[in-house]
Structure 1
Amino acid sequence: MGADRRHTHRRTVRGAALLGSVAVLAGCASMPDSGDVSSVKASRQGDSQVRVYPVPPRDNAEPDEIVEGFLEAMTGDDPDFATARQYLTKQAARTWKPEERTTVLSAAPVPQQSGPVRQEHGVPGDPQTLLYRLSGQKVATVDDRHAYQPVGSITYSESLQLVQQRSADGKQKEWRIDVLPQGLVLGESDFQRNYRSVNKYYFASGKPWVVADPVYIRKRQDPVTKMDSLTQTVKALLEGPTNWLKPAVDTRFPAGTELKKDTTALTTDDRNTLKVPLNEKANNVDREQCRKMAAQVLFTVGDLASTRVEQVELQRADGRSLCVLGEDQRSDFMADPTPGLRETPYYVDATGKLAQLLPGPKEAVEPRRVYGPFGDGAAKVETVAVARDEKHAAAVSQNGRTLRVASIQSDTDLPEPLVTSRGAVPANRLSAPSWDGRNDLWVADRDPADPRLLLLQGGSGKPLTVTTPWLDDDVRVEELRVSEDGVRIALRLSRNGKTTLHIGRVERQTVGDRQKVSVVDLQSVAPRMESVTSVSWAGPSRLVVLGKQAGGVQQVRYVQTDGSASAAVIPGLNQVKAVAAANDERAPLVAAADDGIVRLQSGVNWQPMVEKGTSPVYPG
């Protein structure tokens, strides 16, 4: 019956239409071999095929029914939450703003009457005010800019206050809610059923390529704006980037640009062209600016429309065309414009040489050592990062002491180290390196006496020390992975024996002839995971993570960069040490396990590739 609330002692206050039964599973997989079995409150998995039709309060409804009915009506889709407002007093209905925020609980909120409260200035014989406490475990919030923010699992406690007001015919009094929290309060399964994650796209500050900015929008019509999901997404794009990403990106839309008034549905024509009518603020942009505006829309709606969007046409307020941009021009706005699918990961073989796994028949894979000192030469490497153009690689060697960059396309001598750590033991020396789309190389020196995050511009020269206000004596960088756009960095950080996953924002400033780079405003990505062992970028706003939740077993799972769980399923894999993914989500996952290097291609299970090897990586 729709909600994840189960109460058999009361009448059903909500009707639901079950239009399908496709189960949406969490984006993780493992075969549990330890941990206790514990009972949890049942919660229907989010199902986009299920539609919920809330029911208004019946005459003379008891207070319990009013509270339960309102909580369930919040999970519905009726315009402007009209049914939910019927459970409120007239004043509360006018001031309640469901669009202000959404609070996501692990399960539906549990209401409990906390007793009557007498009115301070009540007239003798007036009814008492009733208070209901709402409780649960809060796991996330979504703000008015549609940004998802995980909070782990913290106690949620708010109140609803009920009073009696005259019925419409004035003959009797009925219970209604007159004090309530702003926004929506939903169980996690109802949130998954009603909302979907989409990427908005903005330009990296000072650069011609786009950056993904994930947000959540309604899967179907938005009850407040009456917009379908495609139109909601374009509207969210025009509103600007989320507060977290805003300092590092730019929008090419002029300030005040909105959809033309009363636009609630955008559709494609018979040529798969999406026409986007804008208000007068965009009337006078030049062609190049318009192309960039259209690129933002093209990337944003890329996976949303039921019919493929092959072109975007932006229109002036009077309906005339501003510009048209097609799919064939997407590469003009990408940090890595290299065409084709990269499905040839690299790894360090059993002898300490950098090798490439060439694609072959279904299960046969032919490893090949790269050219140059890291493959054909005498040097032994421990961890590596291959530049995104696949011409050079960076390697850490000598028990984590040195970082070198060399060609992997031609034979050259072993170059001098670019970075040398003074850490006393290997664990306190250099992390595995990572390249961004600017061809800059990143590495962490974990020497407790001088912990640093370092950047080598162009992969050469003197390293620049990155400003890291969060890096102190208690924090250690276990692993770093920089996004292709160079705006975000995934960090595995350990503190007090616990290793957690964070996303940091990369900010760059030019002061005179010097550049200052900072990694700031770290956000927890997987707060409900007890430990994280490995991480890799797996798309513009998705990570593949190896870790485990408290009391659980090790899992390989997808996580969105905003901390929300992905619905994609990864088959279980035992004894994994590291995982790697390509920025192109079509490329197979690779992992280092006790059985060597293994690969996961679409539609099949994990397959062995080579018997012995470590440090699997894709370019980046």
Structure 2
Amino acid sequence: MDAEPRSARTIRLCALGAVALLVAGCASMPTHGEIRDVKASQGVDSQVRVFGVPPADKAGAAEIVKGFLEAMTSDDPQLETARKYLTEDAAKSWRPGSAVTVLKSGLSRSPVTGERDEGPRWKVTGEKLATVDERSAYQPETAGSQYEWFLQLVQENKQWRIATPPKSLVLSESDFQRLYMPVNKYYFAGDALVADPVYVRQRADPDSRMDPTTQTVQSLLAGPSNWLAPVVESSFPTGTELREGTKSLSYDGQNTLRVPLNEKAENVTQPQCKKMAAQLLYTVKDLTGSRPDQVELLRADGKSSLCSLNAVTARTIAGRPRAPEYQYFVDKEKRLVRIKPDAVVEDQQAKPEPVPGPLNTPVPFKVSSAAVSYDERHAAVVSEDGHGLYVVAMAGIGGMPEQPVHTSKGARLGTLTAPSWDAAGDLWVADQDPQHPGLWRVPGGTGAAEKVEVAGLDGRKITSLKVSADGVRIALRLEQAPGRTTLWVGRIERPEAKGTKEPVSVRELRAAAPQMADVKAMSWAPRGRLLVVGRESGGVVQARYMLADGSMVAASLPAATGLEAVTVAVSEDEAKPKPVVAHSKEDGIVLLPPGAQWLTVAAGGEAPVYPG
């Protein structure tokens, strides 16, 4: 097949609704030449399907290289077209689906000059954004990291073929987002399920031939990502896999997903089986449009049941945070007040009220920021001067505490950040005192404050923080330079949970919003995501939901006036979404109900929070 008929074939495929990659004409192997880019797919559309074109007879080495790199981005099952550009041995052994290298844009390619007995050799390069490892986890690369590989061509049956294909798939960011989709798998940290984000193929995996649901379940059974593994556990016995030969999973007439397991799971107790089923149900429930009502785990015979679990019971096992009753903020008189956000949506005349307890009486200081425990029985408030952190009961009897649980020694005002609770009842705050900076934890909200080591902080100042409800991740806004902050997520390691006396620490910081040149505010959101307010380089301030592994933007919010100086709060409750609440420089406290526009709640208010 020569170049002209192949180009015509490309046009016909487009006319039929498929998108084919353009194919280069035949060319002989050049001995010199400039670097040329392999263009990435324009935009991201998961409905678009891209197909490569097989190599032409007697195609030159340059055309073989270009055709192979383009075919690597195709939707071909098992990457059959890409394998046709390889030698027979390379085509049989190539297993690229086990890992993915994600590039900022396309690959650049150039011939390597000089005589070689084997045949022509091409160098392919690109700027690395991330890798997706064998556990399907996305790992951002350091800015400026370079990818490099050499493609060795040889003559096989009088045709040029590639003998040394890359060990992984190499895709531009746009092609990666077209071919792969993010999903959460879930593991236990204590009694709470924790989201572990991974990527699976939009369609059948080229190596395993599994559909997306089956890929996701397989990834769950394989265990947590390397980043999360030190702080979570799986209820599935070691070695548990899908029943041999399982390539797809289906739903029955009652919208129940039935999952056959191998013999490793045969002897689990019912409580353990229910926890296994809870992990599985939360993992698959957001993957499909149908959202299963129930999962059933089957024995290795594929027929008899190990256990089943419905969505209602799964929520009790999963340890999800209780639905918040109120949203809280600091009003213009510097008092902590509360309001029912649903009431604001239904009746825009609804008014905030002072929180109950001692904070509703004259206090020796005004409030600058606050956090409310998940049970909404205690408030942690920072004094107006930013030096004292107090824990105050909002239920029962008792007065204002005489002493703060933590005091900053900083000479200037506002050295303590807004605090944050985790679901275990621990309280977190950062001190920005230049002489004594650091992250502090107050166990149970009442114990002696302990300084927490943050590995990889490298002298950067923590300007704000938010601990996830599960208590194993902490989002840190760090000052990279005066007036510029970036967002990072660290893993909270608690050796005390395993019976050792080593201190709690934060490990392996990873960029959570690498797309943002400057981050203004953030909050944890349902499904382990983050709502981030910030701007890209040269752009305007926007509020966006982002995946916590830093891989992509999930969705953007409508613009609000005065986002230049904003704090933002989101409820982590997944059962009933609550409005987003923010502090707008222009309007005070503003609220965004699901599917609606921003509403003004209180002029002059600031520091909005949901419990947590």
Asked if TM exceeds 0.5, the reply is yes
- Residue 591 of structure 1 and its aligned partner are, at CA, apart by 1.1
Q: Name the aligned partner's letter for residue 589 of structure 1.
A: V
Please say if 1:526 is aligned against 2:513: yes
Matched residues in 1 for 2:74 and 2:538: separation?
Answer: 35
Partner of 2:475: 490
The more displaced of 141-150 and 361-370 is 361-370
Structure 1 range deviating more: 367-376 or 608-617? 367-376
Cα offsets for 1:41-72 (capped at 9, x unmatched):
88522212112222211212233322222122
Query: Is structure 2 residue 38 aligned with structure 1 residue 46?
Result: no
Structural mapping, 1:308-319, within 5 Å: 308-318=291-301, 319=303
Contact 1:558 1:565 in 2 (8 A): no
2:570 corresponds to which of 578, 581, 597 = 581
Aligned sequence identity (%): 47
Q: Which amino acid aligns with 2:524?
A: W
Worse overlay, 348-357 or 240-249: 348-357
- Alignment partner for residue 402 of structure 1, among 388, 393, 417? 388
Q: Counterparts of 1:206-285 in structure 2 under 5 Å?
A: 207-285=190-268
Match of 2:545 among 545, 558, 565: 558
Query: Which TM-score applies when normalising by structure 2?
Result: 0.88
Amino acid at match of 1:347: F
Q: 1:85 aligns with which of 70, 83, 86?
A: 83
* Partner residue of 2:125 out of 115, 135, 140: 135
Provide closer, same or farther for how the CA distance between residues 489 and 161 of structure 1 changes in structure 2, counting only shifts above 3 A. Answer: same
Cα distance in structure 2, aligned partners of 1:81 and 1:226: 11
**Match for 2:400 among 414, 428, 438?**
414
Judged with a 3 Å threshold, the aligned counterparts in structure 2 of structure 1 residues 101 and 567 are, in CA distance, closer, same or farther, namely same
**Do the aligned residues in 2 keep the contact of 1:382 with 1:395 (CA within 8 Å)?**
yes
Shift of 1:513: 8.5
RMSD (Å) for aligned C-alpha atoms: 2.5
Alpha-carbon distance change, 274 to 451 in structure 1, aligned in 2, over 3 angstroms: same
Query: Are 2:115 and 1:118 equivalent residues in the alignment?
Result: yes
> Displacement of 1:176 after TM fit?
1.7
Render the CA deviation track for 1:135-186: whole Å, top value 9, x for unaligned.
Answer: 333222111110011226425342443434233xxxxx22222223211111
C-alpha distance in 1, partners of 2:596/2:280? 34
Structure 2: how far apart are the matches of 1:451 and 1:276?
A: 50
Q: Which of the residues 271, 281, 284 maps onto 1:301? A: 284
Cα offset, 1:246, TM superposition: 0.2
Q: How does 1:435-450 map to 2 (within 5 A)?
A: 435-450=421-436
Equivalents in 2 of 1:42, 1:259: separation in Å?
A: 36
The letter of the residue matching 1:558 is Y
- Corresponding residue SS for 2:418: coil
Hey, what does 2:163 align to over in structure 1?
178
| Aligned partners of 1:17 and 1:52 also within 8 Å | no
2:359: which partner in 1?
A: 374
Identify which of 577, 581, 589 aligns with 1:597: 589
TM-score by length of 1: 0.87
Do the aligned partners of 1:343 and 1:588 also contact (CA within 8 Å) in 2?
no
Contact kept, 8 Å, 1:16 with 1:50, in 2: the verdict is no
Q: Does 1:451 align with 2:437?
A: yes
8 Å contact kept, 1:201–1:213: yes
Amino acid at match of 2:183: V
1:532–1:479 distance in 2 versus 1, CA, 3 Å: same
Q: Determine the structure 2 residue equivalent to 1:330.
A: 314
CA-CA distance at 1:366 after TM superposition: 2.3
Query: Residues of 1 paired with 2:581 and 2:14: CA distance?
Result: 42
1:11-45 residue CA offsets vs partner (Å, 9 max, x unmatched): 47865687699xxxxxxxxxxxxxxxxxxx88522
Question: What amino acid does structure 1 have at the position aligned with 2:230?
Answer: P
Which deviations, in whole Å up to 9, do the C-alpha atoms of 1:362-420 show, x marking residues without a partner?
Answer: 64442222122334433410011011111111000141110111123467422121111
For residues 221-271 of structure 1, give each alpha carbon's deviation from its aligned partner in whole angstroms, at most 9, with x where no partner exists. 111111111111000000000000000000111111000000011111111
**Does the CA-based 8 Å contact 1:335-1:437 persist in structure 2?**
no
Q: Matches of 1:496 and 1:308 in 2, distance apart?
A: 45
Change (3 A) 1:309 1:246: same
For residues 311-342 of structure 1, the C-alpha deviation after alignment (integer angstroms, 9 at most, x for no partner) is 1111111231111111111232233452x5x4
Instruction: State the partner residue of 2:503.
Output: 516
Aligned partner letter, 1:260: R
- Gapped runs of 5+ residues in structure 1? 1-6, 22-40, 123-127, 168-172
Tell me whether 1:107 sits opposite 2:105 in the alignment: yes
Instruction: Report if aligned partners of 2:475, 2:487 keep a CA contact under 8 Å in 1.
Output: yes
Quick one: structure 1 residues 57 and 12, their matched pair in 2 at CA, closer, same or farther if it must change by over 3 Å?
Answer: farther
Q: Equivalent residues in 2 for 1:180-195 (5 A)? A: 180-195=165-180
| CA–CA distance in structure 2, aligned partners of residues 157 and 389 of structure 1 | 49
The equivalent of 1:434 in structure 2 is 420
Q: CA deviation at 1:115?
A: 4.3
Contact 1:580 1:616 in 2 (8 A): yes
* Compared CA separation, residues 273 and 457, structure 1 to 2 (3 A): same
Q: Name the count of aligned residue pairs.
A: 575
In structure 2, the residue matched to 1:345 is 327
Distance 2:387 2:542 in 1: 31
Q: Secondary structure at the match of 2:329?
A: strand
Structure 1 residue 496: deviation in Å?
A: 3.9
Aligned mates of 1:382, 1:589 — CA distance in 2: 21
> Hey, what's the Cα distance between the residues in 1 that align with 2:222 and 2:264?
13
Question: Match for 2:48: what amino acid?
Answer: V
The CA distance in 2 between the partners of 1:131 and 1:549, in whole Å, is: 39
User: Residues 12, 493 of structure 1: CA spacing in aligned structure 2 closer, same or farther, 3 A cutoff?
Assistant: farther
8 Å Cα contact 1:153/1:528 also seen in 2:
no
Residue number in structure 2 paired with 1:26: none
Give the number of the structure with larger relative contact order, counting CA–CA contacts within 8 Å between residues 6 or more apart: 1
